[in-house]
């Protein structure tokens, strides 16, 4: 079945979907994006994703392309036209549009919106229990990592480095030795005392929607958590480590660089949160 993409008001075959060469997203990374997970054909946490999109656009002074209600309609239509009734994701990119190349904003920008969707396999606990390897790399990004911009070059290079090292993710480390986040995920540990730790969301990281939901689920489950930075050494000596994102869900990390975490298997709290997140995805709350 052929995939359908949405490009500025039109639904078209994926292979024909294109934007102009002078789209500012293409020339300057002057745009933002969202990745929204689809579970059983329904968007997961659509509302907070749209809140974050609006915030990203606001920080870059890009005009919102349409109301949230209209965006939701387009998203639903993209899911419908791609016949995604199981798991999948929507990729949405919003840029400052097409204009004659000039770094400063154009006088009358026409915000551009592109959406694609694809199917994903059913999440399975089997793969999760083995965990994945992560490497550590210096965080070379800019100071506005809170904006979900399409300027992803540092993440591209970091993920490639991970790939070449046979690792799933690269954990980025700031100049003081603290882990900021993965190249496309937020980073968490469980300390020897059983505290769940993740970095506080400020301009150094993207405030993941999965991160926010996992914090909420942890709180409801009575798990003690603290939002603070942690070093690479602390992570390597932790009882558990994992990363979260819309596509990784809750992904246990069982090796960081050459250090095996605890007994090399996914930890109990990581699996508890994975299960809780899986349950959460099909609730009315996730579909609001």
Residue 166 to residues 128, 140, 154, 254, 262, Cα–Cα distance (Å): 17, 21, 18, 13, 20
User: Per-residue b/e over 12-33, b at no fewer than 16 CB within 10 Å?
Assistant: eeeeebebeeebbbbebebbbb
By CB under 6 A, the residues from 182 to 211 that bind ligand PLP are 184-186, 206, 208-211
Among 99, 181, 201, 223, the residue binding ligand PLP under the rule CB under 6 A is: 181
- What are 201's two structure tokens? 């969301």
Q: Does residue 148 have an active-site annotation?
A: yes
Interface mask toward ligand PLP for 88-107; x: CB under 6 A: --------------------
CB of 99 or CB of 136, closer to ligand PLP: 136
Interface mask toward ligand PLP for 25-54; x: CB under 6 A: ----------x-------------------
Q: Which of 244, 253, 266 is nearest to 167 (CA)?
A: 253
CB of 34 to ligand PLP, least distance (A): 8
Residue nearest to ligand PLP (CB): 208
Q: What is the largest CA-CA distance in the chain?
A: 59
Q: Which of 198, 176, 178, 195 is nearest to 187 (CA)?
A: 198
Question: According to the binding rule CB under 6 A, does residue 245 interact with ligand PLP?
Answer: yes
CA-to-CA distance for 156 and 153, rounded, in angstroms? 5
Q: What angle do CA 140, 197, 57 make, to 5 degrees?
A: 50
CB of 180 or CB of 255, closer to ligand PLP: 180
Q: Which of 133, 148, 159, 251 is catalytic?
A: 148
Residues taking part in catalysis: 148
**Residues making contact with ligand PLP (CB under 6 A):** 35, 181, 184-186, 206, 208-211, 244-246
């Amino acid at each position: 079945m052929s995939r359908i993409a949405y490009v500025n008001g039109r639904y078209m075959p994926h292979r024909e979907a294109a934007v102009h060469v002078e789209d500012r997203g293409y020339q300057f990374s002057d745009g933002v994006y969202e990745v929204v997970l689809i579970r059983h054909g329904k968007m997961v946490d659509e509302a907070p994703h749209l809140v974050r999109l609006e915030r990203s656009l606001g920080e870059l002074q890009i005009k919102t392309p349409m109301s949230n209600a209209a965006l939701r309609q387009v998203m639903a239509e993209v899911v419908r036209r791609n016949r995604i009734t199981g798991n999948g994701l929507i990729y949405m990119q919003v840029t400052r549009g097409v204009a004659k190349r000039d770094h400063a904003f154009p006088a009358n920008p026409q915000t551009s919106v592109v959406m694609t969707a694809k199917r994903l396999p059913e999440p399975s606990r089997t793969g999760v229990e083995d965990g994945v390897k992560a490497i550590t790399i210096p965080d070379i990004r800019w100071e506005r990592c809170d904006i979900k911009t399409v300027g992803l070059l540092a993440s591209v290079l970091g993920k490639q480095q991970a790939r070449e090292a046979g690792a799933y993710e690269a954990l980025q480390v700031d100049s003081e030795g603290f882990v900021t986040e993965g190249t496309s995920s937020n980073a968490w540990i469980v300390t020897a005392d059983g505290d769940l730790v993740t970095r506080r969301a400020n301009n150094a990281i993207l405030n993941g929607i999965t991160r926010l939901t996992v914090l909420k689920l942890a709180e409801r489950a009575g798990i003690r958590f603290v939002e603070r930075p942690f070093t690479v050494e602390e992570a390597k000596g932790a009882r558990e480590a994992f990363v979260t994102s819309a596509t990784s869900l809750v992904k246990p990390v069982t090796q960081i660089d050459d250090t095996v975490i605890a007994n090399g298997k996914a930890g109990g709290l990581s699996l508890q949160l994975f299960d809780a997140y899986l349950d959460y995805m099909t609730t009315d709350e996730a579909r609001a």
